[in-house]
Amino acid sequence: GYVAVTMVSAAVPGAQVALTAGAVQAVVNAVGVGAGGAGGAGGAGGGAVLAVGLGLLGLTALAHVLSTVGEYLDTMLRLELSAKVSELIMTKGIRLDLQQYEDSEAYDQLQRAFQESNGGRVYQLMSQLVGSVRDTVTLLSVSAVLFAWSPWIALLVLVSPVPSMLAHVWYGKRTFEVEFARTADRRRLFYYQFLTTTDHSYKEVRLFGLGPHLLERYRGLIRHFLRVDRGLARGESLLAGSLGLLSAVAAAGALIWAMLTTAGNGQVGELAGFLQAVGVVQASALGVLLGVSGMYENALFIGNLFSFLNLPERRIRGGDLPFPERLREGIEFRDVSFVYPGTSVTVLDRVSFVIPAGRCAAFVGPNGAGKTTIVKLLTRLYEPTSGQILIDGVPVERYDLDDLHRHMGVIFQDFIKYDMTVRHNIGFGQVEALHDDERIGQAAARGGADAIVDALPGGYEAMLGRHFEDGKQLSGGQWQKIALSRAFMRQAPIVVLDEPTAAIDAEAESEVFGRLREISQGATALLIAHRFSTVRIADKILVIEGGRLTEEGSHEELLRLDGTYARLFHLQAAGYVTEPAA
C-alpha cells in the first residue's frame, strides 16, 4: 500500500508544473484578449482559466489525501518492521550454540546485529528506497515537461547534483567502516554504562570508589569517537557542500537562461512552470541524492543484521532416540577429552568414569580444573573433542537433543535470578507446568524455598528482584534455594547441581542434601561442590585436577587413600574445629 500510494503521489509535481504553466498562460491569454475588447472571446478565456483552476484544485486535494494516507502507511511500516526485526533477532539468539556466546568474535557480531534490533535501519532503508524511486519518478516526470520546453536547460539542472551525491556515498562508506571497527569498543562503552547504572554492581562500584575511574574510561573512548566523527562530518560538509554549490549555481544559470528565452518568445506560462519546476527538480534531486547515499550506508549496516541472521544454527545435532524417563544403567564418560573451540588448552584429558543409575556423584577439585566443563559436555552445550559420553549405554548424540534437555534438571553456578514472580522463578524449571500450583509447591519444598515463599506477601505471585514494581529482593542464599527448587521442578531422571550450596546456610544444606535421593526421586545426580559437607553425602566422589580424573571412590575410601581428597577434607575440617578439639 505504501509503495502504491507513494508512486501515485510521485506523479503529482509533474502534473502541477504542467497545470501551473497552463494556468498562467490561460490568465495571460484572457488578460490579453480582454484588453483587446472582444467580449465573446474574453468569455472563452475565462472558461479556460476556470477549467485549469478547477484542475489545480482537484490536484491539490488529491495530493493532500495521498500524503495523509501515505503518512499513516509509513507509520505502520515503521512499527511493523521494528517489531518484526526484534523478533527475528531474539529467535535467532535462541537458536545459536553456547559457543557463539562464549566466543568474542561471534559475540561482536551479535552486538552489531543488536544495534539494528529496533528495526530503525531496516525501516530507513525501506523508506529511502521507496523515497528514492518516488523522487526519481518526480524528477523524470518534471524533466519530461522541462525537456519539451528546453532540453539543454533540463539537462543542466539534472546533472548538476551528481558530484555532491558521490561525495555523500563515499562518506557513507567511511562512516560504516569506522563504526564496524568500533564494535568491541562500543561493547566496552555499554559495559561501563552498565557498571555505573545497575543495582547489580552498585555496591562494589561505590565502596571501591570505581565510579570516577569508570567514567574516565568511558569519557576517553567516547571523546575519541567524537573526534573521529567530527572529522568525518566536517569532511562531508566541506566536500559535499562545495559540490552542492555547483548545482545551485547551475540552477540559477538555468533560470536566467529561461528568463531570457521568455523575453524573446513571450511564453510567460512556460516561465512560470519553469520557476516551479526548478524548485521541484532541485528538491527531488536532493531527495534521490540523500536517499541513495543513506541507502548505501544503511545497506552496509543491515549487512551486519543479515550476517548475524545467517550465522549457523544449532551445529550440535541430536538423533531421534527418545530419552529414557528413568535411567537403567547410568552415565558413562569414556576417554573424554575437550579443548574449547578457538583455544589450544586441553581442559579435559581422557576422563573416564561411570555414575550408576540412581546414584549421586560429586565432583571436587581446584578452580579451573574442568568440573563445569564436564556438565557442559553432558548437557551437550559442547561436544567432546574426542571420546564418548553414554547414557544407558547409548552415545548421547543419538538422543533427540530437545528431549535430552527436557530430561535434565540443571542449575549452574551462575544461575539466573529472574526479575519475575516466584511462580516464574520456580515454574521455569518446567515451563509447561507454570500454572500447576501443586507441582510448584512441591518443588519449592524440595529446594527448601517453601518457607521463603510463605513469608512473602503475595506468595507465589510475589515479584522478585528490584527491576519491576513491588519487587522483593532476596538474600543470596534465598535466591539459591529458589534456583534449587527450579531444578527440582523438572522431575528429571538426571539432576545436575553446580555449586548448589555455596550460599545456603548449613541447616538448609543438611536438610536438602541429607534427603537428596528422596527429593530428586531416584534421579541420577551430579553435584559440583567445594563444601565437603555437601560432597560427603555422595555415593561416589570424583576428584578432578588439571583436567584429569585423579581419584574416585566413596568418602571413606578416599579418606583411606589419603590423597588429594583426604588432604582437602582435613584442611577444611581443621577450619571448623578449635585447636584443643582437633
Give the residue with the Cβ less far from ligand ATP, 276 or 373.
373
- For the bound state, the minimum distance from the C-beta of residue 355 to ligand ATP, rounded and expressed in Å, comes to 17
Place of cell 568491541: 184
Taking the complex as a whole, the smallest distance from the CB of residue 487 to ligand ATP amounts, in Å, to 17
The nearest distance, CB 462 to ligand ATP, in angstroms, is 31
Measured from the CB atom, the residue of 295 and 538 that comes closer to ligand ATP is 538
CB of 333 to ligand ATP, least distance (A): 14
Q: Which is nearer to ligand ATP, 271 or 528 (CB)?
A: 528
Return the closest-CA partner of residue 540 out of 231, 333, 366, 281: 333
On whether the CB atoms of residues 197 and 319 are closer than 8 A, the answer is: no
Q: What residues contact residue 173 under an 8 Å CB cut-off, 6+ apart? A: 296, 297, 300
d(CA 420, CA 43): 80
Distances (CA, A) of 579 to 173, 430, 533, 565, 575: 73, 48, 20, 22, 10
Distance CA 372, CA 497 (A): 10
When the beta carbons of 367 and 578 are compared against ligand ATP, the nearer one is: 367
Residue closer to ligand ATP by CB (options 298, 534) is 534
> What residues contact 403, with CB distance under 8 A and at least 6 apart?
318, 322, 323
Let me know the angle formed at the C-alpha of 104 by 98 and 107, rounded to the nearest 5 degrees: 65
Q: CB of 346: closest distance to ligand ATP in angstroms?
A: 10
Least distance to ligand ATP, CB of residue 336, Å: 13
Give the strand pairing for 394-395 and 386-391.
antiparallel
In terms of CB distance, is 343 or 578 closer to ligand ATP? 343
**Residue 371 contacts residue 528 (beta carbons within 8 Å):** yes
Least Å from the CB of residue 236 to ligand ATP: 42
CB of 342 to ligand ATP, least distance (A): 7
Written as one letter, the residue type at 470 is: D
Q: Cα separation of 495 and 430, whole Å? A: 13
357 with 330: CB under 8 angstroms?
yes
Closest distance of CB 402 from ligand ATP, Å: 23
As a whole number of angstroms, the distance between CA 406 and CA 424 comes to 17
Nearer to ligand ATP, 24 or 528 (CB): 528
Bridge partners, 463 (sequence order):
421
CB of 162 to ligand ATP, least distance (A): 52
With CA atoms as reference, report the closest residue to 405 among 387, 424, 379. 379
**Rounded Cα distance, 573 and 564, in Å:** 14
Dist CA 33 CA 40 (whole Å): 10
CB of 568 to ligand ATP, least distance (A): 12
If the CB atoms of residues 189 and 502 are measured against ligand ATP, the closer one turns out to be 502
- Provide the grid cell at 561: 587413600
Residue closer to ligand ATP, measured from CB, 310 or 343: 343
291/547 with CB nearer ligand ATP: 547
What is the helix (H) or strand (E) element at residue 2, kind and residue range? helix 2-10
Query: Per residue in 297-332, is it b (16+ CB within 10 Å) or e — as a string?
Result: bbbbbbebbeebeebeeeeeebeebebbeebebbbb
CB closer to ligand ATP, 15 vs 378: 378
SS3 338: strand
Q: Are 534 and 360 in contact (CB under 8 A)?
A: no
Q: Least distance to ligand ATP from the beta carbon of 348, Å?
A: 8
**CB 178 to ligand ATP: min, Å:** 30
- CA geometry: angle 516, 519, 521, nearest 5 deg: 105
Instruction: Using CB under 6 A, list all residues that contact ligand ATP.
Output: 102, 340, 343, 347, 365, 367-373, 413
- 464-482 burial, b at 16+ Cβ within 10 Å, e below that, comes to bbeeeeeebebeebbbbbb
Spatial distance between the Cα atoms of 363 and 499, rounded to a whole number of angstroms: 10
Q: Which one, of 341, 414, 428, lies nearest residue 375 by Cα?
A: 414
If the CB atoms of residues 147 and 340 are measured against ligand ATP, the closer one turns out to be: 340
Helices 437-447 + 476-489 axis angle, to 10: 130
Taking the least distance from each CB to ligand ATP, the nearer of 16 and 373 is: 373
Cell of 155: 539537462
The DSSP code for 400 is: -
Complex with ligand ATP: residue 308 or 363, whichever CB lies closer: 363
107 or 340, CB closer to ligand ATP?
A: 340
Minimal distance, residue 542 CB to ligand ATP, in Å? 12
- Which helix (H) or strand (E) segment holds residue 339: the answer is strand 330-339
Q: Please report how close the Cβ of residue 343 comes to ligand ATP at its closest, in angstroms.
A: 5
